[in-house]
Each structure stands twice: as structure tokens, then as C-alpha cells.
């Protein structure tokens, strides 16, 4: 673990409210990493979020959690963004957003935080501004490229739509933050450069802080020691699979992953996390396949494995880089953030990219898995990127920035 310095003595009872985006689990996990450190330093930490799974993983760590109505884009069973259904659901989303604002104001009044942190939550940022509470923004998505202009009314003007949305959000909320922190790496190692590519200058406001990871490799035993501790053969390759997405997407991806495992002929070991906090932690342990319903901390398995197979979420890819693991990335079609992160990882030569249907084709997916496990070029690239980003610690920087705010305010 890192040291936060010696001058961190603050008055106890300082309250911090996190407003966390409920799309996926990455926002909750990285905010949770910061929140646990703040709690150790004597802060009282409360969360607001949506999506029952996010609320559950935060509550499991002993935090007070308030929920608001969800705001999601519509997806099909494979997790691909459904533009037409998303457009038709706009009235409901707008209603939910208004309700988010009302509830957020009630929670702020109830908690009366000294400081607010918005992890990609617009309603939190707006309510902080309205209630005159200082806030930080953690965000790596300022632009969401339209996935398919042909499906959007007046699709030829999608770039104009994007600019209008960015400008409105920036002036409505984002620019009022006391600090804007991007949990990503500076170029050319930025995982999500497209979502940070805005048509007007905000670079001076952004602070690239790097990965926000609960545990770094040095915090854990060696790879061989972990293999022994976890009950795996140290001499055979181990593949770690992380399932994520909404419930229907997870079921579809589970089916395809198990098809891949069943039809994989090499002598590999597999561990699969189903990403469901309500399932048993150890779901199946049979032969060379271990299935975990829920894994609160993936880092022991991540360090022990030789390959990660997962959706290319921002946190997931960051963690794989920190732990020096190649990735078989499975983005969802139409999710422009996932697709662009996957392309960046492939450009850095640390990943190969497929869509989920390829998992049903052993003749295509099996050679890719073998290549990622055995290629010397991939191994060199993974070590190079891991070495470059090792000097960044978003966790440390974010906590220090929060402490600096309280020092500067005389608290």
C-alpha cells in the first residue's frame, strides 16, 4: 500500500457523499476503492447510486447507500446497444432524471456532506451546484460517439448532436467542479481517447490520475504462491473469465463462454466469475473449471492467471494492465466506449478483440487464446505497458486531492 504522508490529521466526522453512475459496476468499484481509504482516515462516507447490483456491492462493504431511479440505454440480449428502443425510451429516462435530481437534493439535505464526489453522475453534479456544495468529478467519458448514424433521425448531423450535448453538459455541470479527474493514463496510453476528444479546449481542467485499483500486485503474494493458495496447478496455464453486463447479457455470455471451455482441447485451467453478488461465492469447482457466483475482489485471481477474458470496461482493462495480463476483449456492438477501449488495447498489442458470437466458433477463438498465451510479442508489449503506467496511482492522487481540499478550507 502507499503512504499518504504525515500531515493528514483531520478533524473526525467529515462527511463525503459519492454519487455513482449505475451503468456497469466499474464506477462503483473505483469509487469504493477511494471511499474505503477515506473511511480509514476518519471520514463518514455515504453513497447514492442506481442498479441493485451496485447498491449491493457498496452495502456489502458496510456503507450507507441511497438509491435513485435508473438511467440506462436499451440493449438486446447480447448487450448490443439498441438505438431505436433507446430513443423511444427517452420520455421515461427524462422522468427518471428529474426524480434523480429531487431525491439527490433530499439525500444531500439528510447527509449534509462537507464535500461531494460525482463519479460520472450528472444529477449529482447538478444538485451539488444547486445546493452550493463543493464537488469533484471523476469521469473518463465527456463524449459518447453515436454508434450508428443511419438509425438516428437526421443521422447526418450526429456530430452536431454530440457537440450540442457536450456543450450543454459542460456548462450545466461539469465545469463547476473543484477538480476534474480522469482515471486514465496520459497519451499515448490513454485507454479511452475518443470519449475524451471534445470540440473545445478543456485539457487545462482535466487531470489524468491513472488507475484506481484497490490492490496493486506488490500487495499480494507471488503468482506461484497464489496458485498454491487458490488450489491451482502451478505448471499449467490458468485463464480467468469475468462476466459482466445486465442479467440477460450475462446469461448469454455465460452460455457462450461455457461453449468455448467445453470445446477447448488444450490442457488449461479455467476460473469464471459470473458477476452476480446474490449467487454463492463458490458455485462450481469441478476438474479444471471453477465457477464463482460472486468475487468481491478479483485481484488474487488476476495475479494468478495467465490470460483475462472479459468485456473491455475501463476499470477491467486498467486492472489487467496494472497486473500485466493480456486480454481477450469482448466488446458489445454499438457500445462505442467498449469498442474504442478494445481497439486501444489491441493497438497497444496487449489484447485481441472478438464479438461474443465468435465464442461459439472454436476454430476461430481457440487460436486467439493460444496466441495470447504463448506469443512473445504479446508478452513484451504487456510488460512494456505495465512498466510505463506503474508510476501512476489514481487512488493515491484522488485521496490526496480530497485531503488537500480539507486542509485548504481550514477543516
Please determine, for residue 394, whether its predicted confidence score (pLDDT) is greater than 90.
no
Quick one: which H or E segment has residue 367? helix 362-374
**In this structure, how many other beta carbons lie within 10 angstroms of the beta carbon of residue 23?**
19
C-alpha to C-alpha distance for 131 and 75, rounded to whole angstroms: 34
Q: Where are the domains of the chain?
A: 15-210+392-408, 218-389
Query: Which residue, among 122, 118, 119, has the nearest Cα to 314 in the 3D structure?
Result: 119
Predicted TM-score (pTM) of this structure: 0.86
pLDDT value at position 18?
A: 98
Q: At what angle do helices 314-322 and 376-389 cross, to 10 degrees?
A: 100
The C-alpha cell 461474443 sits at 356
Residues 6+ apart with CB under 8 A from 189: 348, 385, 388, 389
C-alpha to C-alpha distance for 151 and 278, rounded to whole angstroms: 37
For domain 15-210+392-408, give the CATH superfamily.
Glycogen Phosphorylase B; (3.40.50.2000)
Quick one: which H or E segment has residue 353? strand 351-353
pLDDT in tens, 259-299: 999 999 888 999 999 988 877 677 778 879 999 988 888 99
Start-end of H helices in 143-263: 158-172, 223-230, 247-262
The C-alpha cell 507471488 sits at 222
Average pLDDT value for residue range 370-398: 93
Please determine, for residue 382, whether its predicted confidence score (pLDDT) is greater than 60.
yes
C-alpha to C-alpha distance for 401 and 137, rounded to whole angstroms: 12
Q: What is the three-class DSSP state of 88?
A: helix
pLDDT value at position 155?
A: 52
Query: Which residue, among 59, 82, 58, has the nearest Cα to 72 in the 3D structure?
Result: 82
DSSP state of 89: T
C-alpha to C-alpha distance for 384 and 228, rounded to whole angstroms: 28
CA angle 141, 142, 144 (to 5 degrees): 75
Please determine, for residue 191, whether its predicted confidence score (pLDDT) is greater than 80.
yes
Secondary structure tally for the chain: helices H, strands E: 14, 14
The answer to whether 249 and 79 are in contact (CB under 8 A) is: yes
The C-alpha cell 490492490 sits at 215
Burial class (CB in 10 A: 0-12, 13-18, 19+), 110: exposed
Cα dist from 389 to 3, 185, 300, 358, whole Å: 19, 7, 20, 31
| 3-state secondary structure string across 265-317 | CCCCEEEEECCCCCCCCCCEEECCEEEECCCCCCHHHHHHCCEEEECCCHHHH
Q: 410 — alpha (psi -120 to 50), left (phi > 0) or beta? A: left
The C-alpha cell 430513443 sits at 87
Name the average pLDDT for the chain: 87
What's the CATH architecture for 218-389? 3-Layer(aba) Sandwich (3.40)
Please determine, for residue 397, whether its predicted confidence score (pLDDT) is greater than 80.
yes
The answer to whether 306 and 373 are in contact (CB under 8 A) is: yes
C-alpha to C-alpha distance for 275 and 27, rounded to whole angstroms: 15
* Confidence bin at 224 (pLDDT 50/70/90): very high
Average pLDDT value for residue range 168-197: 87
Average pLDDT value for residue range 130-144: 91
Phi, psi for residue 210 in degrees, rounded to 5: 90, -165
* Confidence bin at 150 (pLDDT 50/70/90): low
Average pLDDT value for residue range 358-365: 95
pLDDT value at position 102?
A: 95
Is the preceding peptide bond at 284 cis, omega within 30 degrees of 0?
A: no
pLDDT value at position 106?
A: 96
Residues 6+ apart with CB under 8 A from 340: 145, 192, 193, 194, 195
**Domains 15-210+392-408 and 218-389 agree in fold:** yes
The answer to whether 83 and 102 are in contact (CB under 8 A) is: no
pLDDT in tens, 55-104: 999 999 999 999 999 887 666 666 566 666 766 777 787 888 899 999 99
Query: Which residue, among 313, 139, 305, 318, has the nearest Cα to 216 in the 3D structure?
Result: 318
* Confidence bin at 245 (pLDDT 50/70/90): confident
On the CB side of 201, CA atoms within 13 Å amount to 1
The answer to whether 57 and 26 are in contact (CB under 8 A) is: no
| Pairing state between β 206-208 and 135-138 | unpaired
Please determine, for residue 206, whether its predicted confidence score (pLDDT) is greater than 70.
yes
Average pLDDT value for residue range 142-154: 62
Amino acid at each position: 500500500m502507499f503512504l499518504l504522508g504525515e500531515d493528514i490529521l483531520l478533524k473526525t466526522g467529515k462527511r463525503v457523499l459519492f454519487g455513482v453512475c449505475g451503468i456497469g459496476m466499474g464506477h462503483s468499484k473505483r469509487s469504493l476503492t477511494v471511499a474505503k481509504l477515506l473511511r480509514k482516515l476518519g471520514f463518514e462516507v455515504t453513497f447514492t447510486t442506481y442498479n441493485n447490483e451496485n447498491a449491493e456491492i457498496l452495502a456489502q462493504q458496510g456503507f450507507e447507500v441511497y438509491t435513485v431511479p435508473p438511467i440506462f440505454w436499451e440493449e438486446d440480449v447480447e448487450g448490443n446497444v439498441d438505438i431505436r428502443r433507446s430513443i423511444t425510451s427517452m420520455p421515461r429516462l427524462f422522468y427518471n432524471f428529474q426524480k434523480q435530481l429531487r431525491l439527490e437534493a433530499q439525500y444531500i439535505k439528510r447527509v449534509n456532506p462537507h464535500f461531494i464526489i460525482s463519479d460520472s453522475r450528472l444529477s449529482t453534479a447538478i444538485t451539488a451546484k444547486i445546493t452550493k456544495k463543493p464537488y469533484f468529478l471523476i469521469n473518463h467519458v465527456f463524449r459518447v460517439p453515436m454508434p450508428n448514424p443511419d438509425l438516428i433521425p437526421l443521422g447526418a448531423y450526429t456530430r452536431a448532436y454530440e457537440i450540442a450535448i457536450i456543450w450543454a453538459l459542460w456548462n450545466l455541470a461539469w465545469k463547476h467542479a473543484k477538480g476534474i479527474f480522469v482515471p486514465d493514463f496520459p497519451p499515448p496510453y490513454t485507454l479511452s481517447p475518443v470519449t475524451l476528444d471534445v470540440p473545445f479546449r478543456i485539457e487545462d481542467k482535466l487531470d489524468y490520475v491513472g488507475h484506481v485499483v484497490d490492490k496493486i500486485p506488490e500487495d499480494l503474494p507471488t503468482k506461484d504462491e497464489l496458485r498454491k493458495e487458490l488450489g491451482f496447478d502451478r505448471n499449467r496455464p490458468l485463464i480467468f473469465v469475468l462476466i459482466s453486463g445486465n442479467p440477460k447479457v450475462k446469461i448469454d455470455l455465460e452460455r457462450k463462454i461455457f461453449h468455448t471451455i467445453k470445446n477447448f482441447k488444450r490442457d488449461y485451467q479455467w476460473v469464471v466469475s459470473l458477476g452476480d453478488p446474490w449467487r454463492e461465492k463458490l458455485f462450481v469447482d469441478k476438474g479444471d473449471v471453477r465457477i464463482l457466483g460472486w468475487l468481491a475482489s478479483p485481484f488474487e485471481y488476476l495475479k494468478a492467471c495467465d490470460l483475462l477474458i472479459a468485456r473491455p470496461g475501463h476499470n477491467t482493462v486498467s486492472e489487467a494492465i496494472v497486473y500485466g495480463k493480456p486480454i481477450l476483449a469482448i466488446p458489445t456492438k454499438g457500445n462505442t466506449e467498449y469498442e474504442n477501449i478494445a481497439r486501444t488495447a489491441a493497438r497497444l498489442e496487449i489484447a485481441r478483440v472478438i464479438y461474443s458470437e465468435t465464442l461459439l466458433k472454436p476454430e476461430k477463438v481457440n487460436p486467439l487464446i493460444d496466441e495470447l498465451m504463448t506469443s512473445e510479442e504479446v508478452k513484451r508489449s504487456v510488460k512494456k505497458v505495465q512498466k510505463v503506467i506503474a508510476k501512476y496511482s489514481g487512488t493515491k492522487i484522488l485521496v490526496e486531492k480530497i485531503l488537500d481540499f480539507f486542509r485548504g478550507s481550514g477543516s
